[in-house]
Structures are given as structure tokens and as C-alpha cells.
Amino acid sequence: MSPPSARPPWREPTAALPLRFGHAADRLWAGAWLIVGGGLAIAGSNTFSLWVLALGTAATAIGWCVLPSAGWRRVLALGPSMLAMWLLLSGPRFVIVLVLPYLGWLLVRHRPPLAMLTAVPVAAVALLVGNVFQEDYSRMLPALAIVGVAMVAGAWGARLIARGRG
């Protein structure tokens, strides 16, 4: 038997939400893959492959809608995220806009306001990568990979902050 002062084990806030379909873990993975894959498709499109742009846009939108979260949070994250994905068409110089979907991710995952501070290192990495890679669109994938690693690390840091506050 645990002592009365022991806190209950921490649980993801979105895992306790009532869902209309599916399981929280399945929807989290499906949504994340659709968002990332859609974003890569958008970044990889050009005027000769507009169908890739349309497919990526649809995948990103569906990904945000599938994530387990309060509905208003998903809707609020969708617009800025889509704008950021389209702005990535300008090249590696604009990877700083990935801070918008990152903040949307924190919102959708029900992270506490203090966890928003994890966006600062993500923005710093994005600025550095944008300044190093400049307008060289052939280096877009490495730029996205570096900022993506920073986003994943930030998201784990935000999760640790949420656990500490929960």
C-alpha cells in the first residue's frame, strides 16, 4: 500500500480524453506521421508537381484533425501550421516558421504554459540553420532534419516539464 502523500502516477492529459473513434496512442502516431509526411510533401513540391502540394496539404490537415485533443486546440493549431508548411516552399532560410507547428503541437498535447519555453531552443536552432543554409533549396532536407531533431528534443523536454507539474 502506498503512503497517503504519494502522488498518483502521471498520465498524458490527452490519454484521459473521451474519444469518438480509435485509441489515443494510435491516433497520436497516425496524426504525427500524417503531419510530418504532409509537411515533407509540401516542402518537396514545385510548380511541376502541384499534386504533391495538394496531397501534402491534405495529409497535414488530416493529421492535425486526427490527433487526440480538445477540438478547439486542433483547430487553433491547424491554421498556423498550414501557413508554416506553405512558407517552407521559400527554402531553408524560412525554417524558423517551424516554430508555429511546434507551438501547435504543445497546445494540442495539452502542455502547461511553462513548456512553451521549449520553443526558444527550437527557434534558435531554426535561425542558425536558416542562416547557414540560406537560399540553397538543395539543402532543404538536411535543414528540415536538423530542425526536426530540435523539435523532437523540445517536445520531450516539454513532456518532462508537464510531468513535473502534474
Q: How far apart are the first and last CA of the chain?
A: 22
How is 10-60 classified by DSSP, letter by letter? P--GGGGS--SSS-HHHHHHHHHHHHHHHHHHHHT--TT-HHHHHHHHHHH
d(C-alpha 80, C-alpha 98), whole Å: 10
Encode pLDDT of 128-149 as tens digits. 999 999 888 888 889 999 999 9
- DSSP helix/strand/coil, 7: coil
Position 2 in a domain: no
pLDDT of 91 > 90? The answer is: no
Position 6 in a domain: no
Position 7 in a domain: no
Position 9 in a domain: no
Position 141 in a domain: yes
Position 144 in a domain: yes
Position 112 in a domain: yes
Q: How many domains does the chain have?
A: 1
Q: Domain span at residue 123?
A: 21-165
For the entire predicted model, the pTM comes to 0.89
The chain-wide mean pLDDT, for the chain, equals 90
Encode pLDDT of 27-80 as tens digits. 999 999 999 999 989 888 888 889 999 999 999 999 999 999 988 999 999 999
Q: Is the dihedral of CA 124, 127, 131, 137 positive or negative?
A: positive
Position 11 in a domain: no
